[in-house]
Amino acid sequence: MKGKRQSTVEPVFGTLTGFMGLRKINTIGIAQANKVMHMSATAYNLKKLMKFMSKTAETMTRQAIVLFSS
């Protein structure tokens, strides 16, 4: 069970609290707290997407260099 939990939710909350500064939600009400969590999740996902896209761009660049150098 621990392995499944670590692969799904806990790393995300660890990143949000540890690196993105989301230790406290300073809002009043569940609706406002929900908005903060949605914005935090969006920021987390965009960060992951940008990292993936840069790796994909590097791979495509290397493939183009190999293709055109021969």
- 5 confidence band (pLDDT: 50, 70, 90): low
Give 70 or 39, the one with higher predicted confidence.
39
* Model pLDDT for residues 9-66, shown as the tens digit of each residue: 677 777 777 777 777 778 899 998 888 888 888 888 888 888 888 888 778 788 888 8
Identify the domain containing residue 23 by its residue range. 2-69
Residues 6+ apart with CB under 8 A from 42: none
Residues 6+ apart with CB under 8 A from 70: none
pLDDT at 3: 61
Residues 6+ apart with CB under 8 A from 22: 16, 36, 40
Number of domains in the chain: 1
**What's the one-letter identity of residue 12?**
V
Tell me how far apart the alpha carbons of residues 34 and 63 are, in angstroms, rounded to a whole number: 43
